[in-house]
Structure 1
Amino acid sequence: MELTVYLAGQIHDDWRNEFEEKARKKKLPLNFVAPQTNHDLSDDIGDNILGEQPGKMYRDDAASSINNLRTQVLMQKSDIVIALFGEKYKQWNTAMDASAAITMNKPTILIRPESLIHPLKELSNKANVTVENIDQALDVLNYIFE
């Protein structure tokens, strides 16, 4: 059995590569999908497909529609969602993706540091499992196969 895992979270560092590499080392039968991690492409996709928009709001709206469609398709095809919250970057998209996954009844694991326990308490309560780091999330996934 293989599982498809949607890796939700900020796109400004290489946490997904770390997650995928550690999963490979554990020989977990996982396939990974994620939001568009090319930040420029994510911002430009509305203009690229629909043509130049008449202002920043319209540009963001066009890109958001296409990015949200992509996220919805990939998340719906996923077996489980991992949402990583870090301390360094704004986490609005991560919170949106985690909420969407929970609403879709997707098994959801939140990764969040101890410092974010309070601000994420309601979301954490709705997720299936909340852990503090990537290794713990991988241990949860590994347990599925034991």
Structure 2
Amino acid sequence: MQLTVYLAGQIHDDWRRDIKSKADEKQLPVTFVSPQENHALSDDIGEKILGDQPGQVERDDAASSINNFRTKILLNKSDAAIAYFGESYKQWNTAMDAGAAIQAGKPLILIRPESLVHPLKELSNQADVTVETIEQAVEVLAYLYE
């Protein structure tokens, strides 16, 4: 059984590579999709497609509409989602994607360290599984095949 899993979360470090590597080590038949990981392209896509915008607010709005379009399609085509909350970056996009996965009825694995238990308690309560590490999230996926 081949699964497609949407990897929701910030694009500033290589946490997705870690998940993909650990899934490959276990030879899991999983295809991963995600937001645009090229940060500059993600920020510039509105102007790249729609042309110069009159200000930063309009520039951000144009880019976000196209990024949201991408996210909606990839998330809706996915069988499940993993939302990663780390210590280093603001996590607004992760929270938005996790909420969208919940609303779409997609099974959700939430990864969050112990330090974020309190601020993520409501979101964690809505997720199907909450874990603290990437390794644990991959183990949840692997359990599907046992």
Same fold (TM over 0.5): yes
Where in structure 1 do 4 or more consecutive aligned residues deviate above 4 Å?
A: none
Matches within 5 A, 1:104-119: 104-119=104-119
Matches within 5 A, 1:88-103: 88-103=88-103
Specify the code of the residue in structure 2 equivalent to 1:20.
Answer: K
1:66 Cα deviation (Å)? 0.2
Give the TM-score normalised by structure 2.
Answer: 0.99
1:17 Cα deviation (Å)? 0.6
Matches within 5 A, 1:120-131: 120-131=120-131
Specify the code of the residue in structure 1 equivalent to 2:134.
Answer: I
Specify the code of the residue in structure 1 equivalent to 2:112.
Answer: R
Q: 1: CA distance between counterparts of 2:87 and 2:18?
A: 17
Q: 2: CA distance between counterparts of 1:106 and 1:115?
A: 26
- CA distances 1:35-60 after superposition (whole Å, capped 9, x unpaired): 00000000000000000000000000
Q: 2: CA distance between counterparts of 1:140 and 1:58?
A: 41
1:145 Cα deviation (Å)? 0.9
1:11 Cα deviation (Å)? 0.5
Match of 2:28, SS state, is: coil
- CA distances 1:49-104 after superposition (whole Å, capped 9, x unpaired): 00000000000000000000000000000001000000100000000000000000
Q: 1: CA distance between counterparts of 2:37 and 2:124?
A: 24
Query: 1:133 maps to what in 2?
Result: 133
Specify the code of the residue in structure 1 equivalent to 2:45.
Answer: I
Q: 2: CA distance between counterparts of 1:22 and 1:109?
A: 16
Query: 1:68 maps to what in 2?
Result: 68
Q: 2: CA distance between counterparts of 1:24 and 1:79?
A: 18
- Over the matched positions of the two proteins, sequence identity in percent amounts to 70
Q: 1: CA distance between counterparts of 2:143 and 2:21?
A: 18
Query: 2:52 maps to what in 1?
Result: 52
Q: Kindly tell me the number of residue pairs found equivalent between the two proteins.
A: 146
5+ residue gaps, structure 2: none
Query: 1:34 maps to what in 2?
Result: 34
Specify the code of the residue in structure 2 equivalent to 1:127.
Answer: A
